[in-house]
Homo-oligomer: A and B are copies of this chain.
């Protein structure tokens, strides 16, 4: 197995990426191809001890900035790490591509260079999120902000494959994210999607309200990319704000500081539980190849976990499974 990793993607690239890759080859025995500006990648690699044969470098002279328009990787910077890395997937030796870089650029480049799974029109990004039971798979969290009902239907089918094969949940259930439980809730778009899923999707449990996302009510939660992105960003912001408030409160009295000191490890445990990077990256599904998107602020550990999750995708041949489900075989 050979996994291609964008060495230049993310806020802490290439340092964080290279460190995570080194951890992965040491612990997981995987082969990695680092794509990026060769000198910089080599300089980072020199800091570590690792089995040399396990990491290969492929030079890509350009870098897509985190704030550049999505199409830059296709139209302008054709020699960027995203572009070069993505194109490698078309060759039989390379199994998957991981990037913590510009999400829009990765989605555009994947759609353009790899094409889609037959029957699927648009790609979507899934994300494993923690719940009170264990986890749920939220999709789409940002690729397709103006989907048609069929796009969400295909997302649901692909999410079920992912959760079954990669997360090991037999017969995953699906909920449609909506602002009410009844079938008639939401806009015309939600009503039409609800109808389509009711008629054609296996194990569809109907609408799921946003306050139930973290309850673990369904294994997959399907929504459009705008709403999914709002869900994860509101959650991030709220946890940060709650943490800040707690710190402010605690500083008000020495007794509170003592109490907080005692339960510090418990609070950290919750923080760890809520940390998406514990669960690997966010798979881009629908394109004809395995592409994993990591958070722009990915730590080395997050990169390692993304590689680990990607290895399961490769082992379980999820593209083949998705192809079968979409074509109704």
Contact = CB atoms under 8 A, between A and B. Distances in A.
A182 interface: yes
B260 A237 contact: no
A183 B182 CA distance: 35
B229 A227 contact: no
A211 B226 contact: no
Given A260-B259, A266-B250, A213 B234 contact: yes
A260 B258 CA distance: 10
A312 to B, nearest CB: 26
Interface string A262-301: 1100110110011000000000000000000000000000
Contacts of A226: 179, 186-187, 227
Contacts of A215: 237, 241
A235 interface: yes
- The residue in A69, A142, A237 that gathers the most chain B C-beta atoms within 10 A of its C-beta is A237
A244 to B, nearest CB: 6
B270 A246 contact: yes
Contacts of A165: none
Contacts of A186: 145, 226
Interface in A73-124: none
Nearest to A184: B69
A146 interface: yes
A243 B250 CA distance: 17
A65 to B, nearest CB: 12
Interface string A314-327: 00000000000000
A56 interface: no
A69 B209 CA distance: 17
* Interface residues of chain A: helix, strand, loop or mixed (majority): helix
Contacts of A250: 263, 266
A48 interface: no
Contact of A237 (B214, B255, B273): B214
Nearest to A259: B262
Most buried by B among A69, A177, A249: A249
Contacts of A132: 241, 244-245
B212 A237 contact: yes
Given A242-B239, A249-B270, A266-B250, A142 B229 contact: no
A210 B237 CA distance: 7
Given A132-B245, A245-B273, A259-B262, 5 more contacts: A145-B186, A211-B237, A238-B239, A256-B266, A262-B262
Interface of A: 67, 69, 131-132, 142, 145-146, 177, 179, 182, 184, 186-188, 209-215, 226-227, 229-231, 233-242, 244-246, 249-250, 252, 255-256, 258-263, 266-267, 269-270, 273-274
18 contacts: A69-B184, A131-B241, A177-B230, A186-B226, A211-B237, A213-B234, A214-B238, A215-B237, A227-B230, A230-B234, A231-B234, A238-B238, A242-B242, A250-B263, A256-B266, A258-B259, A259-B262, A259-B263
